[in-house]
Amino acid sequence: MAGVSLKCGDCGALLRSVQEAQEHAELTSHSNFSESTEAVLNLVCATCGKPCRSKTETDLHTKRTGHTDFVDKTSEAAKPISLEVPKATADSGEAIDVDMSGSQPEEMVEPEVDKELLKELEAMGFPVARATRALYYSGNASVEAAVNWVVEHENDPDIDEMPMVPVSGGGGGGEASKSSLTPEEIKLKAQELRERARKKKEEEEKRMEREREKERIRIGKELLEAKRIEEENERKRILALRKAEKEEEKRAREKIRQKLEEDKAERRRRLGLPPEDPATTKSSAPVVEEKKSMLPIRPATKVEQMRECLRSLKQNHKDDDAKVKRAFQTLLTYIGNVAKNPNEEKFRKIRLSNQTFQDRVGALKGGLEFLELCGFEKIEGGEFLFLPREKVDMAVLNSAGSELTSAINNPFFGVL
């Protein structure tokens, strides 16, 4: 029986003519062909008439269109194959013999394709090599033709390799004569590819947004850490300052004590009395210390004035620690509200006749003085305490808050 097709010995593909064998060889670099009595399938869709050459093509067509009925016309289309090389191809020097034994190497280059069509295919999500191959082998006819070619060859192993053609070769289009998709299939395929490209773009935008959000979170953490370090350093500086002040106060008291002891010893010497017994001197030291502590000390700074005011308040009411602590906490609340909401007038205005205020602060000596040190002024005939917005000094308020916190938490505050 005469051969009705050419079979590729490398991949098993069945081809209808020598021209198809040449095109297959260009695409795959396969060179082992032989005659075969096995006919190329010709399954025609009973609904739209599209011919399919394999079971894979019929499955794909059914998936795209929903058509399931096919008529097998393989026997009608089968005819003896001619092994003659087309004259035009032979004259051009590009003929490929059936056994590929006479092929001559030529310089290969990338084919020229329509740039606008190439951009449109790339926008639909096709790789450059696949889009170039599709345009070249579909004859640069249209985007639909290129999509048709991709659908029919999407399982080719070299589908994503850049095609190479001889320098003397034409502009492609060898596949344009093959079976094509119906307009409905082309429209559905183009819509699917555009949807795929849109989803890919959305996913990329979401990924970039996640990256930007991570960067914002990282910067936020760095800023918070920098602020924490700054606050910690400020706290350490204040603690060091307070420690230095206490040391200075201790040294001053010690100098006063020594001076008193020297004066006392001098008086005893002048009166002819014997030196005082050290044990007696030691036991009386607290009395000297207490007398010394009653010496008036004029604060040099506003912070020291605040501290002295709070110390005086506690000493004036030392018999009622609960009342003193409640007064300190109330003052801290007033100061904290102003510091957090400096623009709110209701936090900067206090009615002096308010019974709660009087019970907690107003009736205690030193409470009003402390608020005045913070900037509050009496207005409307002494009916209100008011802190003008332009006189709100955050540094003074912070210092006042620190002094109140120290007075509340230090069990020895005001004892000395």
Residues 6+ apart with CB under 8 A from 17: 6, 81, 82
What are the pLDDT tens digits along the chain (416 aa)?
A: 456 777 888 777 888 788 888 888 887 777 778 888 777 888 888 888 888 877 777 888 888 888 888 888 877 766 776 666 555 443 444 444 444 444 455 677 888 888 888 888 888 888 888 889 888 888 888 888 888 888 888 888 888 888 887 765 444 544 433 444 566 776 677 777 778 778 888 898 999 999 999 999 999 999 999 999 999 999 999 999 999 999 989 999 999 999 998 988 888 888 877 877 666 555 444 544 444 445 455 545 888 888 888 988 888 888 888 888 899 999 999 999 999 999 998 899 999 889 999 888 988 888 888 898 999 998 888 889 999 999 899 999 999 999 899 888 887 776 65
CA angle 376-377-380, nearest 5°?
A: 135
Residues 6+ apart with CB under 8 A from 196: 124, 125
What is the pTM assigned to this prediction?
A: 0.31
Q: HSE on the CB side for 35, CA within 13 Å?
A: 11
Residue 101 CA to residue 403 CA, distance in Å, equals 102
CB 314 within 8 A of CB 413: yes
Q: Which residue segments constitute the domains of the chain, with CATH numbers given? A: 300-409 (1.20.58.2190)
